[in-house]
Structure 1
Amino acid sequence: MLTYIHFLFLSFPIFIFIFSTSSSTPQNLTLIGSAHFTNTSIILTQELPTCTSTSYSPTGRVLHSYPIRFFNSSSNSTVVSFSVHFTFKITPPPPPCISGDGIAFLIASDPNSLPHSNGYIGLPDSPVSDPFFAIEFDTSFNPGLGDINDNHLGVDVNSIVSIASIDLTSNGIVLKSGKRITVWIEYKHVEKIIRVWVGYPDSKPQHSVLNLPIDISKVFKEFMYVGFAASNGRGSSIHSIEKIQFHTFDSSLIPNIQMETRSSRTCLICYPEDPSFQDSDSAVWYDRRKDNRVLELAFGLLFVTATIIIAASLVMVYCCICVNKRCTPDQPQMYQFQETQIPKKLKLADIRSATKGFDPNRIIGQGASSVVYEANLPFVGNVAVKRFSKSNQTSLFGNQFATELATMVGCLRHKNLVQLQGWCCEANELVLVYEYMANGSLDKILHKRTNNSVLTFQKRLNILVGVSSALVYLHEECERQIIHRDVKTCNIMLDADFNAKLGDFGLAEVYERSTKKQRDATLPAGTMGYLAPEYVFSGVPTVKTDVYSFGVVVLEVASGQRPVNEDGVVLTDWMWDLWEKKILIAAADPKLMGRYDKVDMERMLMVGLICVHPNHEVRPTMKEAGRMLRGGMVPELPVRKPVVMIQSVVMPSEMMGLGGDESDTPWSTPRTHFSKGC
């Protein structure tokens, strides 16, 4: 069953969700030729059972069922701007079969004028009277059509011969890799420029691969159909689309027919209609005009919202009672919640079965207070089971387990946070169940001795941008401010596509934003090498202590060096020394073998240094740090590492148990002490 979620913005600042369900395929998309729906994607062309045939295979297309108005010819109103954001995959056949033609984003005035076979990515192979516009991702090399190679992006206007082509190989993109590829296309009519970004991750690349001046008012008719086309020609590939978002923006258009009423919504074409696919970069395109049906549904929506809030509150109350009273097997189980995003209380028997009795061979991670197992739960799939040490349970009930459960059960939802699936506090076992991350921790991948080419510079940059986004969410966007206190590469997990997710909230501190109460000094918690100097000396965590830890992670990711190496050299001190000698680029990880832009690498290192500035007031916020990583201006750094005097509330020797070798004065220059990082 597909769930459609429409987002509408009223003229007053209220954000409304409209839910509707359908057991059938989407009614606003039309499939043509070999195209068909699956549970997770739209398949445009299928791999052929045999590749010995010399005939052309069918073409597949998917088009929005209704034409979209791009301008009003009668009133000469401004041509609308538009953006499209989609993810596709091209799976090549095994040798000796050849690949298909490729896939194209298509805007056409008359779908019936397009060919139904003969390849050419489903586009006309000769000039046509009915205009069309396409961004093609071509995987076949046909010199007669002006192709530059079999891995290029082309812009087609009324002809299969591209008016502009870009070699994607030089941008690190291989169309026939079988990997998910995400594309962003934007046209702003005021500039009359079309821009295209292409990347493997879901985060938008910093630089576009194409900036082409074009006036679509000279190409388009008033109404055009939007969709995708693909063909195999004499080859055999699976061309599939997993996600689509198409937006138009023009405040001058006044809805007067059904088609335009559809166009007034934030997402004209959205498959599947999933809010997690939206990103802030495309937010400027959202059309904020009223939908006439909003008020009719408002009261029903308020009722649904209230019900969800009450249900979530009951879960949190139950969890708090469970943590304080130590759950026992005879307590009622909470499987009645069907919403998959609400963590569930699980039975210990089910967890034991999924982990094969906590089989040591299933261990995928181990810390001071817990062991993590890979497991497979029925109806859920692969998960990571975090089992807390029995020897530490007494203290953990009021600390790490309780903190992590209470923090995560509050339904923190962000694409760069590891999501809690369930929990168990039964008998003498304390267990948290998280989503499974196929590539494990960043620490293991980064410092792995083999397969050093896995973490390219672009992947490292995307990982850091993802972690910064998660910390912005915790610091600024949650209802209650959350300070993580243990940001390090061990707690950054990587999914199958190397997208980063921050985890382990066992040391997190949660604060009400409305209170003005001064934060109390505590014994510093975390990992030495990642701790901000003022936190070590004062014991007071702030958002800037998380920024410092993030800065250490940035330097670690850029250099491939641990925060404290085997010889006791502190990474931050070494970086400041290189900066003072004006050879900061020498810190770049040799495993990258120079495969990076020196300006981008130096920027990354400078962002790390500004984040670990000894003076916490000079450090940026996480939002500013993320902006710098994406290409924003980095503030000027001092010529050498500053010396900052910090007053100690709790003496370092008392906090760290390192003996009394520190100065007797409550004022001293911060020193770094070492302990095992992960």
Structure 2
Amino acid sequence: MPSLLLFWVHFFLFFDFIFPSLSGPFFPEKNLTLFGDAYFRNNVIGLTQELSCLSSSSSPSPPPPSSSSAVGRAFYVYPIRFLDSTTNSTASFSCRFSFSIIPSSLCPSGDGIAFLITSNAESFSSSRGYMGLPDQALYAQDPFFAVEFDTSYDPSLGDINGNHVGIDVSTIISAASVDVFSSGIDLKSGRQITAWIEYRDAMKMIRVWVGYSHIRPPSPILVTQIDLSNQFKEFMHVGFSASNGQGASIHVIDHWQFKTFGSLPSTIPADTSEEGDCFICFSEEPSSSADYYARRKKVEEIAFGLGGLGAFVFSAVAIFAVICFFLIKKRVHIRKCKERLNCKVQTNRVPGRLSLAEIKSATMAFNPSRIVGEGASATVYRGSLPSGREVAVKRFERANRMDCMRNPFTTEFATMVGCLRHKNLVQLQGWCCERNELVLVYEYLPKGSLNKVLHKHSNSAIVLSWNQRLSIVLGVASALTYLHEECERQIIHRDVKTCNIMLDAEFNAKLGDFGLAEVYEHSSVTRDATIPAGTMGYLAPEYVYSGVPTKKTDVYSFGVVVLEVATGRRPVDDGGKVLVDLVWELWGKGKLIEAADRRLMGKFDVVEMERMLLVGLSCAHPDHEKRPPVKEAARILRGEAPLPLLPARKPRVKIRPVLPDDSSAEDCQSLDDLPWMTPKSHLSKD
């Protein structure tokens, strides 16, 4: 009878412990497969044992028992389907769990804990450490994905410190990581920490949130683009792994919720959960793991002491009252949570999804008369929403309409949905991904592109004044400074040109078109070579040759834009003359001011004009190491920094390593001495 009573106490007091793909009453321990040191006790998953170690001669403690592997794993008992082989579609997933890492007071900390998705639940590390993640030397055929909460610093693995979150893809060396001290989180504090992990296959994006509260923070601590469709097999095992290595910590999972959902284009979300506003709300604030164990032990002692039918009846009544209390409390908590989240959504103003019917109504069914711009991958229409607000509707083209991932739409949407808020960036107003259509909706800027104002209206009354030109260049510089240095992640635009600089009614510049953008963590020094993409005349020579985009490749394009605005000339004229070469020639002859746009008819400040031309040449310097950051270029333009020092003639183009560890200075080559063996490039003339 006491055992029956204890079961009911366990069941009712811990009814909020959630496992995926389950409904109704269940025995949680039967839904887990445990490996190594892992155990299930009191509805809590323990991944490592409480070990002791020798801290000093004065405090003798026995070494860890030989029976302990120092590694523990817990997986959901059934494999979960992630890949539909018939449609070749990959599932997205979201996960929320609470965990505690309680280090020993006498020993070094353990290695940490990892959320793990693997094709082989029995693929362990060959050592006692590395959080028990699979050893690729032994299990190369078994891909895995992990989000590690690492409490051990190992420089050989590229660890940034002993308190970081990292994303691992089939290797224990993280593809991306972030220091969580910067967010006020100490993984080894022993406090209960809640983590949210979300993968959106439509955007190939992983986002991780971490906090002490059970309310998800407004901004993720780690965001990175990773394509897991190549890593997932049809069925994968989902769970957790932890290890102590040479240390001793208790790694505990208190709550867990996991789900998969479809990856069709129509599921591309705004920044809200698919479970509704209160998907992230808990019924109550649990105590720490230490209090948890003490409370459970006390409950067991009381339960065994009661015994008998009378005690059971009394306890059942008490439990019923407790359930009612918590249900009422949960209802109140959910209401408050909704109020907070509704407020948060109104504050963040996340771009909303629009229906295809709304898009067609705004553009008169994509009427050709509404076209205001055309590019290699999209057509832009002028539209009007029912509210009366004018918008620019960017309709993307693709050969296979069901292949959403092979289109610049994905890159641009993933970049813009990160809430790029800056006065000199074109703002995303909404999006549509329905049937065969991929559409992004932006604010409408009535003056159109800078390219049209500079070149298409050469013989009209629209001639930008000198003050307007200076303001436009400084606006573009402000936008690039934000992307390169001030944004949460570093963004390389890769297609800075006058066609992508839009002008509002007051001729303020706004940079747009992020279809070729690359997103990096600020701490990353790794840049993968890509097929060079962009527009002839704006591409840096080292980028065309190596295919590696950096801040300095954007600086080069910015320099060409500066010269284009100052001179009114195209980057490459109809006769094939390159603007940068022309200005260098005038600089060498001491006639730099002759490069000024003749349509200004001398109505400009000569000192400011020379300053702008020198900044353009400096930013478009053939040697990327000599180009100033955009922020410094803006200071020069405003007269807050000295003019750049330039040689009397254009230097020979040298190809140096773009990244710090590529090669030595002796490897530099001159393009003047080499044939033009440029790799295949995605280039356009406009």
| TM-score normalised by L of structure 2 | 0.48
| TM-score normalised by L of structure 1 | 0.49
